[in-house]
Amino acid sequence: MPKRKPSASKSTLTQLGSGSSKPQRKLEAFPNEYPERETIITLRCEEFTCLCPITGQPDFGTLEIAYIPDKLILESKSLKLYLWTYREVGIFHENVVNELLDALFEFLKPRWMEVTGHFNVRGGIAIDVTANRMAE
């Protein structure tokens, strides 16, 4: 069986691998080699944390980011570092889901994207929030 030729050039791989491992709001992407397909990509982030904007107590949850890419695919390490920036941010669950959707959608310009936050029980109540957008 023939080996698949690497799709990314050495300079692209170096560029992607040269980032920091500290929290930062810098997203990275790589080219989608199959833009004609309706490929659904789902990223599950099970260690998301932010702060309650009222009490300052930590909130924990799982984020699911699903999208149909157009030209770009999100690089997962950059997403991890981006999400880490929320650890010290006081924000309502509904707002963080919509803020992430808008930031990721504007960056990637996918055909469709949905962000769901499954937030752990706090005060006896678990909260799930889903928001989505389609390309115009």
Residue 128 C-alpha from the chain's centroid: 17
Amino acid residing at 86: Y
13-to-22, 28, 69 alpha-carbon distances in Å: 19, 12, 20
Has 52 been annotated as catalytic?
yes
* Catalytic option among 45, 52, 70, 102: 52
102 belongs to the catalytic site? no
Q: State how far Cα 100 lies from the chain centre.
A: 7
The catalytic residue positions are 52, 59
